[in-house]
Chain A
Amino acid sequence: MNPTDEATTSDAKLMELVKSGRVEHLSTLFLRHHRQLFNFFLRQTCSRSISEDLVQEVFYRILKYRSTYQNQAVFSVWMYRIARNVHFDLLRSRREEIPLEESPPLAADRAQQPEEKTATQNEVSLIQKALDMIAPKKKELLLLTRFQEMKYKDIATLLGRREGTVKADVHRALLELGKRYRQLQGEVIA
């Protein structure tokens, strides 16, 4: 397969090749998904180093359990099933949510003025705080829709729920995020 074909080949097709033993094709899947996966973990653990480890663990498990991938299945759904298990294992091993050991630094924007940068940092910090105040399951749901841009149908498959239920849950989670943000904003202003 030449590089152009590789770039246009679907995730499912690449994963089928990995499953058949051509594991080198996992590199393309890694390039396509590792950043989103990193953000998915980062917003939940608030630790860059732990999130990077978890990303590696997910791809290790993909290799290890490649034979369990069902051909034609949506790759991202299968991958996030593994990702959720990896995160669950981490939480179970610590028995509690990981403390905020390091705040996720702001995405680099060199052109920003220092005062603008601080304002954006405060804004991101406020959103992250609001996100941390809502229930972990709701938070996970919002991160799947935000960074993974997963369709309700795929999230429903991933979570084993009906599509309508997922949509209603996203509605409730967003509503709570909006309320929490407004509440925190009020505290900052006050």
Chain B
Amino acid sequence: MTCKTTRMNLIDWIRGDLTAVPKAKLENHLAACAVCREEAETLRLGWEKLQALPPEQPSDTVQAGFDTMLTIFRHGLRFEREERPRNDWLTRLGEWLWPRRFPVRLAFIFTLLIIGLAAGLVLGRKSNRIARMQGEIETMQQNYGISLLEQPSAVDRLQGISMASRVDTPRSDTITALLQTLNTDPDINVRLAAVDALYLFTNLPEVKNGVLHSLSRQTSPLVQAALIDFLVGIRERRAIEALKQLIQKQPLLPEIRNRAEAGVAEIGQRRV
């Protein structure tokens, strides 16, 4: 056996994958060749040390987080399925109605435009009533969302956040409930979902103020990181002071401190 062939087979030899005959040939070569023997020893050392690394166990929060995610996903999927027949029907109708030839398609668009204008004139009178109904639906959504935020189940509270964040113009009590969830909820996933929901309403001053004050109260690195990203994302000037205070806080993970420092630099840079 040559040195080249020996080296090609060293890994299989160390892993015990060689059959008797090639194994014997390789060992004979190693006995005679000091260079290959040295390489085999180093390789074996690397292999043994790699095997000596103990497998670590993740904490229970990984399983809990996965279960929560799957539950939410299944709820969403069920909702999607309930909605699907109508969508499929509409899609098929759309495909059937949409002409393939361009001139016919153009004529079709104009016809739809005229029908739309006429319908708009007729329906315009009813628009106030529709707007009022929309307002009532938003009110109901917000009431339901707030009530879900008070439930003991984390899944319910996540649904509450989802419900509360669907409205275009949230009431002040909805924002208060979201901020309270961010500050006091025992579940990290729920607090993170609250951060995401609040990000939709960054045009409201009470949201900016609430998130700024929340930063100093949070102890979870994940939530701290999410809030830093939030404040950097909205280019909030007052965040510089809040981030500097966070940097001084003890104990604080170096990763979060680095992120906060980067945030201070980024906001400072944007201000120039």
Contact = CB atoms under 8 A, between A and B. Distances in A.
B24 interface: no
Contacts of A181: 45-46, 49
A30 B221 CA distance: 25
Interface stretch (B27-35, B50-58, B122-130, B264-272): B50-58
Given A101-B253, A181-B46, A23 B70 contact: yes
Given A146-B53, A178-B41, 15 more contacts: A34-B58, A35-B55, A47-B255, A48-B59, A50-B255, A52-B65, A59-B66, A59-B69, A101-B255, A107-B55, A146-B50, A146-B51, A174-B46, A178-B45, A181-B49
Contacts of B59: 48, 52
Interface in A25-54: 26-27, 30, 34-36, 38-39, 42-43, 47-53
B50 A174 contact: yes
Interface residues of A, number: 55
Contacts of A171: 7, 10-11, 43
A83 interface: no
B46 A52 contact: no
Contacts, number: 125
Interface of B: 7, 10-11, 39, 41-47, 49-59, 61-63, 65-67, 69-70, 73-74, 77, 81, 221-222, 253-255, 258
Interface in A93-126: 98-99, 101, 104-108, 123-124
B58 A30 contact: no
Contact of B49 (A59, A147, A178): A178
Nearest to A120: B54
B74 to A, nearest CB: 6
A53 B49 CA distance: 27
Given A123-B52, A124-B52, A175 B42 contact: yes
B39 A56 contact: no
Contact of B50 (A42, A52, A142): A142
